[in-house]
Amino acid sequence: MTILPSSEWQKILLIIAVIWLLMELWRGWRLGLIRGLLKFIALILAWFAGSAATSMLHALLLFLFHISSPLIPGSAGLILGLIVYFLVNGVSSLLFKKTNHYRGFMQVFLGIGGACWGLLFGLFFLWGSISAVRSLGLLGEIRLLTSEKKGLPPSADPVACNLVSIKRALEGGPWGVWLMQVDPLSSLFYENTKNTIMMLSDHEALARFLNDPNTQHFIAHPLMQKMLHDPQIQLAISSGNFMLLLGNKNIHRAFNDPTLWQQIKSFNLSTTLNAATNQVIKQ
């Protein structure tokens, strides 16, 4: 599977970024200094709330149920982020006026201040978009690897090809090196995500992961054993109704247990995944 960076996609991404920043400058001018500032704060709060929720739920599903689908944690993080963003913006719209409600010096002052915050908002949004584009490209790479195992050419999945092409365009050239360095998500995150999905698609790799001493030590924790053998949790997994997990007492105990969190922090996920998927990668 070889998809080279596309110069056309690089131009398209650059044009989109410039248009987006100009639009946010204009929106910031209209909102004014105070509402522009609160809009920027709302985006930061939404980003961190959504990222924290996604990471925690992804880790929970992986360690407890060996599920690595990005759909569930990603959707939960997106919903929480949107709630935080619209809540803060809704309150600011009720409390503060826009630039056109003022006249003279105050209008110019508030408009320029709002435009500056609009520019920062646009830059911060583009910064987060780096992770979104690379994550979607990673999913495209995994889909192409799956198709390759089935003997299908990359052209059989044009959506995945486009996702990978956009990712490679973003990462290509001198700007690409810099963008990867400022990506909020580390390269280790993408590597672990890719290895996890590959592991879960191969029974032998999954068996190596579960039989690894690091994994065995982790799941031997008493709270882990209680969760693994909890009938309510098993029912939630089999039925796909993960809302049942919200009131589960064993999960609540696990979240509040410092010894389990210490064990999670000491768990070397990257090394364990590499050892489990090494033979898969070589195939």
- Per-residue pLDDT tens over the stretch 115-154: 999 999 898 888 888 888 888 888 888 888 777 777 777 7
pLDDT band with cut points at 50, 70 and 90 for residue 23:
very high
* pLDDT in the model for residue 19: 94
pLDDT band with cut points at 50, 70 and 90 for residue 3:
low
Selected residue with higher pLDDT from 278 and 27:
27
* pLDDT in the model for residue 145: 77
Number of residues that this document lists for the chain: 283
- Among 133, 171, 126, residue whose Cα is nearest residue 6: 171
Selected residue with higher pLDDT from 235 and 231:
231
Instruction: Compute the Cα dihedral for 165, 170, 176, 177 and give only its sign.
Output: negative
Q: Can you give 212-258 as a three-state secondary structure string?
A: CHHHHHHHCCHHHHHHHCCHHHHHHHHHCCHHHHCCCHHHHHHHCCH
Answer yes or no: is pLDDT of 283 > 50. no
Least reliable range by pLDDT among 1-15, 23-37, 165-179, 201-215: 1-15
- Among 167, 220, 218, residue whose Cα is nearest residue 194: 167
**Which residue type sits at 10?**
Q
CB-CB contact of 168 with 5 (8 Å): yes
CB-CB contact of 23 with 115 (8 Å): no
231 Cβ neighbours under 8 A, 6+ residues apart: none
pLDDT digits (tens, 9 = 90+) for 168-212: 888 877 777 778 887 877 777 778 877 887 777 778 888 888 888
108 Cβ neighbours under 8 A, 6+ residues apart: none
